[in-house]
Amino acid sequence: MTDKDKNEEKNEFEELDSEEFNNEAPVTETPAPPSTSQSLTPDDIGGMEYIKNPEVGTSVEFIIGEVNKDPSRTLKNSTDGSEFETGLKKKNGERHEINIITDEGKCFSVATWGLFFALFGKKSKIQAKAKEKGNTYKDLKVKITHIFNGKDSKSSLKDIMALRGIKTEKEAQVHKEKVAQAIKDGTIYKAELVD
């Protein structure tokens, strides 16, 4: 096929005579919102390693490379096919992800508001150090410890006893109240600077 044939093939369309063209209904288009998409390469997708949120009673440490606010994504649960949105949900319903990219290029997603405020709240030592360093989180070494499972504040006493190995309902009630207080105090997680 010659270049001329290729161009003619690309430009084929059904022409309308002027009467048909003038009688068509006007098309109203809504402008698309500004793009929040990011161009990815195969290395970006295949190479991103995620750091899992620590289990209750454990910690994770890393050095911050950068902190990003990214758009929320809709994902599908591989087990039951249900869809869910990622990120932190504001009171107005808006969602976004806070992703910490480590100095090694790994991603740690801040999954709860409790963790967000432990890391970046007004009283956070991490926040104070970042401001002291010239308003940057880069090169701060942090340790995040997951102290309580926040779901325990709403679980039944029997569930708490079974899941946490607690022997009596009285102890389960004390645990439930302790977790509820930790949620109020913002101490479900502990986030600290590491030297």
The single residue listed with the structure tokens 């929040």 is 36
Strand partners, 146: 189
The single residue listed with the structure tokens 């207080």 is 181
The reply to whether 108 falls in a domain is: yes
As for how many domains the chain has, the answer is 1
Q: Kindly write down the DSSP assignment for every residue of 71-93, as one continuous string.
A: E--EEE-TTT--EEE-SEEPTTS
Q: In this predicted structure, what is the pLDDT of residue 62?
A: 98
Cα–Cα nearest to 66, from 96, 123, 112, 105: 105
Strand partners, 89: 95
The reply to whether 27 falls in a domain is: no
The reply to whether 21 falls in a domain is: no
Q: In this predicted structure, what is the pLDDT of residue 40?
A: 59
56-71: average pLDDT:
95
Q: In this predicted structure, what is the pLDDT of residue 39?
A: 59
**Gap between the Cα atoms of 103 and 126, Å rounded:** 16
Cα–Cα nearest to 59, from 155, 153, 170, 143: 143
Which domain does 117 fall in, by range?
45-193
Q: In this predicted structure, what is the pLDDT of residue 34?
A: 53
**Gap between the Cα atoms of 126 and 132, Å rounded:** 10
The reply to whether 54 falls in a domain is: yes
The reply to whether 78 falls in a domain is: yes
The pTM (predicted TM-score) of the whole model is 0.71
The reply to whether 115 falls in a domain is: yes
The 10s digit of each residue's pLDDT in 147-166 is 999 999 999 999 999 999 99
The reply to whether 3 falls in a domain is: no
**Gap between the Cα atoms of 26 and 74, Å rounded:** 34
The single residue listed with the structure tokens 């790994």 is 106
pLDDT at residue 37 greater than cutoff 80: no
Q: Among 35-44, 58-67, 85-94, where is mean pLDDT lowest?
A: 35-44
3-29: average pLDDT:
42
The reply to whether 175 falls in a domain is: yes
Average pLDDT, the chain: 82
Strand partners, 71: 96
% helix / strand / coil in the chain, to the nearest 5?
Answer: 35, 25, 45
